[in-house]
Chain A
Amino acid sequence: MSAAAGSPPRRGAWRALAAAQRRFPLLQLVLLVVAFVVGVVTLPGFGGGLSVVSVLVIAALAGLASIGQTITILVGGFDLSVAGFIVAGALLVTQVSEQLGIGFWGAFLILVPGALVLGGLVGYLSHRFRIQPLILTLAMGSFALGIVRGPSGLAVVGQAPTWLTGLSSPISTTFGLPVPPIIVIWVLVTIALAVFLRFTVGGRRLYLTGANPVAAEYALVRTRRVWVIAFAFSALCSALAGVMLVSFSGNVDPNLGNPYLFISLAAVIVGGTTGGGPGDYTRTVVGALLLTMVTTVLVGHGLTSADQQIMYGAVILLAMAIYGRERRIRDRV
């Protein structure tokens, strides 16, 4: 303890930086700027308006697909049903709505309660029987995909309505602003979630549940309810992200969701949110921007999708090594 007082000032500066890093993803922001500058210098046209908007649209898709992951990780869980629900959501508003002739909004009316019920069931079962949410979310993602795909058969048909594709086309505008609506949606969602997590009773209960589920029960937080809501919300977010992805790509591919499973995990973890907190969605936004920026620059330099996979894996390990540690076995005796 006395050593701290006598230490050279440089260590003090390090400490201040480390403290700042704990509060805010400083390092990630610096890396984001570095990646952007490298891109502008080495890739022609990278700094142009349309190019930047395209990167933002891709980041917005990644960010929107990571909302549920952020919330479930904050309550101390995990959500591996992202891919399944994304495809389920995407298929519902295209193929299924076409086959049943119920139109986009008809499908939407099935999607919302359906995702909420299935996701909520995961939260309930996982909390009630203390089952790793990992297993249950994987299973539920598969189930959701299956019950949407099952009746409709192998051939994937169906197109997104044109107004939907306008949401995320880089050349579209929002009320005169030169950005596509998806970016505006992302900004609004980010603000709403920041306010919810920081300044509402519900948000605080979510943090309490993640920080110490036993203490939260003693503090009269109904933690099972929190888990049910968190996982239901997460499933809904993934399904809606699927709708957004349809708007981006125009059609559906059963493998559409796969990349987003690890993108969502990587975005949350790289942003610096750890299981049970601390963390918030703003960090995930920074994580999604950083990942998208770095990937785009590297793809510009010939990075393949195989390299991307490896990079995401390595990045998850690296970020976890910095942020998350379990207790030593000695301390549990």
Chain B
Amino acid sequence: MSAVAAPRRAGEPRLRRLLRRHGYLLALGLTIVLLAVNLVLQPNFGWIAQLASFAPLAVAAAASMPSIVSGRGGIDMSIGPVMTLSGIVFAGYLAPNGLGGLEALPILMLLGGAIGAVNGLIVIWLRLSPIVVTLAMYFIVIGINLKLAPTPMRLADDNWATSLAGSIGGFPGPLISLAIPVALWALLGLTAFRRNLYAVGGNDATAFTAGIAVSAVRVVAFALGGAFAGIAGLVLVALVRTADSSTSSAYTLIAIAAVALGGTSLAGGAGGMTGALLGAASIFLVQSVLADAQVPQTWLPAIYGAMLIVAVVVGALLSGERTGRRA
């Protein structure tokens, strides 16, 4: 079932064609509408505070994206726990030991990147499904988090990182949080890596025969996701000022939902940073609208669940994959 089966698409409606090529358009529309609703419901919309609460989810979505783009069901379940681990290491281990400054950022990225690389290496060496490998890693990292931080760890209020949730010399801190993964992704766009990544995600057999080092691309994709998760952990701890091992699983599901909503096909080879961020924005703004409308907390799982289902079904419909009949 390789490229040979690709259908002719001459008669495809223009809108669908556009959406298939630019999957993030749906999330863009949703973001604009929801933002408008938010501004109406909440005339004094605090931009910096809202951006600060948005940043962890956005970076988590960015972290889930590379491995999904790399294809073959490359969903990284361990993103959530790795975020928490990063927060715990920062608040509980680096900061108290004089490493709480800017140098913490590369350390946390390396930590997350290393875990991601281990995921990727296991996937390619043992030829296991990424979901199983990263799910195992999810349990392992949660266990490590529980060991490292049996009780929540507080971040000192005067730590520089807290300004990531405020402002840095008048400049909104959250924008810097968002800028780091965006800049990294843009830098990678100047190299061959991103093209290789999309080629591998689109059709790994083709990429392999064309001479691309498929395994290396996959490992780097997982490592990149891990590194982003490291950043996301820092951003989260900057916002909530505690690192709590019991919240290890909070971001995995919702980050994947954001990526899916942003038009990144879970089959791989399409989508990207713009989609992930816009998907995250849509979800965040829905949350915000619900809060404004005073919908009780206990409803949230139902709403997230429904949104995720709708997002992936719509995504599958738009991606133009042949659906239905298998024979």
Contact = CB atoms under 8 A, between A and B. Distances in A.
B73 A304 contact: no
Interface stretch (B13-21, B219-227, B295-303): B295-303
A142 B209 CA distance: 41
A328 B317 CA distance: 30
A313 B137 contact: yes
B190 interface: no
A147 interface: yes
Contacts of A140: 305, 309
B143 A309 contact: yes
Given A125-B309, A306-B144, A306-B146, A139 B253 contact: yes
Contacts of B309: 125, 136, 139-140, 143
A306 B208 CA distance: 40
A293 B305 CA distance: 35
A147 B305 CA distance: 10
Contacts of B303: 146
Nearest to B78: A313
B127 A328 contact: yes
Chain A interface, >50% SS class: helix
A208 interface: no
A332 B136 CA distance: 26
A78 interface: yes
Interface in A182-213: 213
Contact of A309 (B142, B300, B313, B323): B142
A8 B98 CA distance: 62
A142 B304 contact: yes
A329 interface: yes
Interface in A146-174: 146-147, 149-150, 152-154
B302 A145 contact: yes
Interface string B212-237: 00100000000000000000000000
B244 interface: no
Contacts of B122: 317
Nearest to A328: B127
B128 interface: yes
Interface stretch (A16-24, A45-53, A127-135, A241-249): A127-135
Interface in B301-317: 301-306, 308-309, 312-313, 316-317
A308 interface: yes
A81 to B, nearest CB: 9
A308 B133 CA distance: 17
A312 B137 CA distance: 10
B204 A217 contact: no
Interface string A310-333: 111110110011001111111011
B302 A129 contact: no
Nearest to B322: A130
A312 B136 CA distance: 7
Interface of B: 73, 75, 122, 126-129, 131-133, 135-147, 150, 204-205, 208-209, 214, 249, 253, 256-257, 260, 266-267, 296-306, 308-309, 312-313, 316-317, 321, 323-327
29 contacts: A84-B301, A130-B321, A131-B316, A135-B75, A140-B305, A140-B309, A142-B302, A145-B302, A149-B298, A149-B301, A154-B297, A217-B327, A262-B135, A304-B146, A306-B147, A306-B150, A312-B139, A313-B137, A313-B138, A313-B141, A314-B140, A316-B135, A321-B128, A326-B127, A326-B128, A326-B129, A328-B127, A329-B204, A333-B208
